[in-house]
Amino acid sequence: MLEAKCISCHGAEKDKGKLRMHTKEALVKGGRGAGDAIIVKGEVEESELIYRITLPKDDEESMPPMEDESHYNPVTDKELSVLKSWIKLGASFDLLINDLDQAGKKAAEYVIKNLPEKKLSATALLIPKLPEVPVANPKILKDLQDSGILVMPIAQNTNALYVNASYKGKEFNDESVKMLEALAPQIVWLNIARTGVTDASSETLSKFTLLERLHAEKTDLTDVATQNISKLSNLKYLNLYGTSISDASIADFRKLRKLEKIFLWQTKVSPSGAESLRKNFVDQKAYDDLIKIKTLLISKTEKIAKSFDSEIEVMEKIKSNLSKNTDDKLPINDRCPISNKPIDDSKFSNFEGRMVGLCCNNCKTKFEKDPSSYRSKIANFVPSKAFGEQNEALKEMVDKKDKALEEVGAELRTLTTKINSMSPEINLGWTVAQSK
């Protein structure tokens, strides 16, 4: 149980809270804060281990921590019963199942038949597996660095390299690419953006078989180059923004089965070409079915908006009429909300069902252009009862519309995320949206 649920954070390689649990000596020693109170022999309630395990899952000190529901791997009631029984009887590592009390023994027999499985945390799953590659020739690395090319490991504890030649601009050309060929077994990320490389470099690029990311934006690469780029079977990220790539390269991109993201902004690739590329990565029937559902949801959204808008429009007209009419015989204010001067009883304007006095025609004109902006300057202003009721009814109707649209919108967002996850992210820029 400890191996499945605790060791990933409290083991030989990691000691969260300065606590290790991969050996019995480390376990009883405890960690920061609790110390050897991690397990108090014979005292279940005094043992920090039991305290942490039994905290609510949303408590910051709860163990194991709850990062998200799908990766949460808590101690079960049966497992907890075994631990409590073990501690109660002295927490001896030589204790046998038959030595446990009746509840602990019964729970242990169940756990043995249903051994807990280890779950990687969501954070651990996000950590990419680093490729194992041989060490690069130090002289080649130095020569490249001396020439102004950035060469560095993609992460700690790996020989895999990130090479960035974009700083050299057009000075870095087809001949320069050949200099990198000796590092083909190590290069995983490569940036040749805005350099002077052409299609002639593509044959050399095809030899970088470990390549996962390729920045080649704003270069002179054309559809000729993609024939060789398509040989990079590990490619996940490809940026060809601002190149002469066209729909003729779609067939080559289809061969990049691990592709996750491709940038084709300001190229000659059309929306239909991008869509044909997208479809190549999906189960066509499943994709078409989801697109049909999305079309129906979009139609449903439009119908909801239309049905509410007609009613809201009527209510707004009623509200407007109620604002312009009043039962007041005299202005409700003494001072002009524009100038703060005494009002002229003959100068007034009806607003939200009330008669608002003003001092002159000039102020009257200003007020009627945007009466809401002067609302706070009318002392103790309260709209008419009829206007207030209509305004509240209108707000309720708008809220109902928003709620109805949000319910469908939530479905639509979930569906869109599902559709997007079926294929690479294809970016054609702001002018041609590729979201589905």
pLDDT at 436: 38
DSSP reduced 3-state for 298: helix
Predicted pLDDT of residue 124: 53
Strand 161-164 versus strand 187-191 pairing type: parallel
The strand pairing partners of 351, in sequence order, are 354
Exposure string for 263-295, b = 16+ CB within 10 A, e = fewer:
bbbbbebeeebbeebbbbbeeeeebeebeeebe
Amino acid type, 261 = K
Chain centroid to CA 46: 41
Q: Two tokens at 255?
A: 């061969």
The residues pairing with 262 across neighbouring beta strands, listed in sequence order, are 238, 426
Give the span between the Cα atoms of 252 and 230, in whole angstroms: 5
Judged by phi (left if over 0) then psi (alpha if -120 to 50, else beta), residue 249 lies in alpha
Domains and their CATH numbers in the chain: 2-126 (no CATH), 138-269 (3.80.10.10), 289-421 (no CATH)
CA atoms of 200 and 219, how far apart (whole Å): 12
Candidates 5, 47, 7; CA nearest to 23 is: 7
CA distances (Å), 200 to each of 163, 256, 278, 299, 381, in order? 19, 21, 28, 49, 77
The rounded distance, in Å, linking the Cα atoms of 95 and 305 is 69
Q: How far apart are CA 389 and CA 378, in angstroms?
A: 20
CA distances from 184 to 113, 135, 140, 210 (A): 50, 12, 12, 8
Digit-by-digit pLDDT tens for the chain (436 residues) are: 888 888 877 877 677 777 888 888 888 888 766 677 888 888 888 888 888 888 777 776 778 877 666 667 888 899 999 999 998 999 888 888 888 888 888 988 998 888 887 766 555 555 566 778 899 999 999 999 999 999 999 887 789 999 999 989 999 999 999 999 999 999 999 999 999 999 999 999 999 999 999 999 999 999 999 999 999 999 999 999 999 999 999 999 999 989 989 999 999 999 999 888 888 887 778 888 888 999 999 999 999 999 999 999 999 999 999 999 999 999 999 999 999 999 999 999 999 999 999 999 999 999 999 999 999 899 889 999 999 999 999 999 999 999 999 999 999 988 888 877 777 888 887 543 344 3
Task: Output the pLDDT for position 69.
Answer: 64
Strand order in the sheet with 425-427: 150-153, 161-164, 187-191, 213-215, 237-239, 261-263, 425-427
- Global pTM? 0.50
The answer to whether 233 and 210 are in contact (CB under 8 A) is no
**DSSP notation for 18-35:** G---SSHHHHHH--TTTG
* pLDDT given at position 434: 41
Q: Is 350 helix (H, G, I), strand (E, B) or coil?
A: strand
